Amino acid sequence: MGSSETSSQLVRKEYMMRVVPWAESVRAVKLSSEFADFGQFRKEFERSMHYNSSYLRVRNTHSIIRWFFPSHSLDNLLTKVWTFYKNDTILKEMMRYQYLSREPAAAEFVVKYILPLDPGTPVEVDYLRDFLLKRYGVIKEHSLRSLREACKNLSFIYSEKKKMAISQIPMPKTSLLILTHYLLAPTPRTVTIKDVLSNPFWQYLGVRESEAVRKVFREADANGAITKYIMADQLEQVTTRYSFDEFVQRKVQL
């Protein structure tokens, strides 16, 4: 009985997806670059939130830390990217990846239900309801709202005249290279395209087709952002030029 209860509790815990306080999350990442100590940053961020309720400040701070600072350290992906690039578009793309890497339900919806659809395709709320029903066997309004708002905040869906549709996401070239280094090549090395494509990070960024990933690497090779991209016979791989830290410190962009 204990095992069954534990399993049920885990399902419920995963199901309790909260609405992302997006503006506050962006502010948190930018604020984190101004601190040397994570504890001091967290304390100041919680104090400076606009909510009158201390309960909401604590709850939302906890959620934002869980999503965007999972290491509970300032030596993290988003803080580094903002510190060196100071680019709002790149930051949003990286936060898109970071959030989906922490929310498996939202990630599954994006990869299996959003990306296969062409930009401009209308999306009815029942499309989201069907996904939640298939995944959990039940639909709860707070989870429906959380999923809908997450897709909007992350720019996978846009609303126009109270109707939802699939967004056209600009190709996140620089972010794809940053994450390739961060996840697969923290130090200079050769990585197979197979390993890149088997990791869903590029889909979390909003890239729909594997050929678009290859195109970015070809451009990076031509521009010197990586050492080389090779595709010959059965061999397809990229060799990086910099470590992850060097890449972001040099503010390499495409």
pLDDT digits (tens, 9 = 90+) for 82-101: 999 999 999 999 999 999 99
d(CA 12, CA 134): 15
Q: Is 162 left (phi over 0), alpha (psi -120 to 50) or beta?
A: left
**What's the pLDDT at 17?**
62
**What's the pLDDT at 12?**
45
pTM for this entry: 0.89
β-bridge mates for residue 166, sequence order = 157
d(CA 101, CA 248): 21
Q: Where are the beta strands (DSSP E) in the chain?
A: 122-123, 157-160, 163-166, 190-192, 228-232, 235-239
**What's the pLDDT at 234?**
80
CA-based radius of gyration for the chain: 19
26, pLDDT greater than 80: yes
pLDDT digits (tens, 9 = 90+) for 100-157: 999 999 999 999 999 999 999 999 999 999 999 998 888 888 889 999 999 999 999 9
What is the longest distance spanned by two Cα atoms in the chain? 63
The amino acid that residue 37 corresponds to is D
* DSSP category for residue 187: S
For 17, what's the count of Cα atoms within 13 Å in the CB-facing half-sphere? 24
d(CA 1, CA 74): 41
Tokens of 172: 């996140």
**What's the pLDDT at 3?**
44
Let me know: does 94 contact 81? Beta carbons within 8 Å. yes
